[in-house]
Amino acid sequence: MFAPWRLEVIETYKSTASCILCNILKMEDDEEALILERAEESFVLMNKFPYSNGHLMFVPNRHVKEWSELTAQELEEMMRLSQKAVKVLRDCFQCEAFNLGANLGAAAGAGIPDHLHLHLVPRWSGDTNFMPVLAEVKVLPEHLKQSYKKLKKAWGLVS
Ligand SMILES: [Zn+2]
């Protein structure tokens, strides 16, 4: 499988002394970090190496590796935020469908195996490959920053 975005993610991960997601959380500039919301237990951000336009991630604030280590509060909040994200993405990008899930462990395809995160990947019909999310680098219709601005604005309007 040729996936250049993955190489880039792994290179970034190796080059930082600590965890890339923990480092993003420490950044002060939300726009630079591509963070849409900093909630109590977790945060929501755009994937810098997206599978499709509007690809979001839900990440516990704690550096947690094992799914079973997540607390009820963390799980609840991440799921609630994913509901909001589906609503916002539908409004902003007219997404027709979504893939929501996690790659638990490097062998499952996790680019950052030491810090759990959920992916929400928007889908459109015509986007017919069963798993283009794993196999292709898509040409993005909008630049990442433009997408961020649009999503950030909409995020503030939905409760
Ligand atoms: Zn971490």
Q: Which residue ranges form the domains of the chain, and what is each CATH number?
A: 4-157 (3.30.428.10)
The mean predicted confidence, pLDDT, of the chain is 84
Q: Which single residue is written with the structure tokens 């991440």?
A: 78
Ligand 1 centroid distance, CA of 114 (Å): 7
What is the CA(155)–ligand 1 centre distance, in A? Answer: 24
pTM: 0.82
Q: Flag whether pLDDT at 114 surpasses 80.
A: yes
60 contact partners, CB below 8 Å, separation of at least 6: 41, 42, 70, 74, 78, 115, 116, 117
Q: Residue range 57-80: average pLDDT?
A: 96
Beta bridge partners of 121: 99
Strands (E) across the chain are located at 35-38, 42-46, 56-60, 97-101, 118-123
> For residues 10 and 54, is the Cβ–Cβ distance under 8 A?
no
The confidence score (pLDDT) of residue 128 equals: 57
* pLDDT, greater one: 138 or 110: 110
Helices assigned H by DSSP within 94-143: 132-135
In the annotation, is 117 catalytic? yes
DSSP state of 71: -
Question: Buried b / exposed e across 76-113, counting CB within 10 Å, b at 16+?
Answer: ebbeebbeebbebbbebbebeebbeebbeeeeeebbbb
**Catalytic residue from among 55, 115, 117, 119:** 117
Q: What's the 28 CA to ligand 1 centre distance in angstroms? A: 16
The pLDDT of residue 17? 54
How many angstroms separate the alpha carbon of residue 44 from the centre of ligand 1?
A: 14
Query: pLDDT-based confidence at 139, cuts 50/70/90?
Result: very low
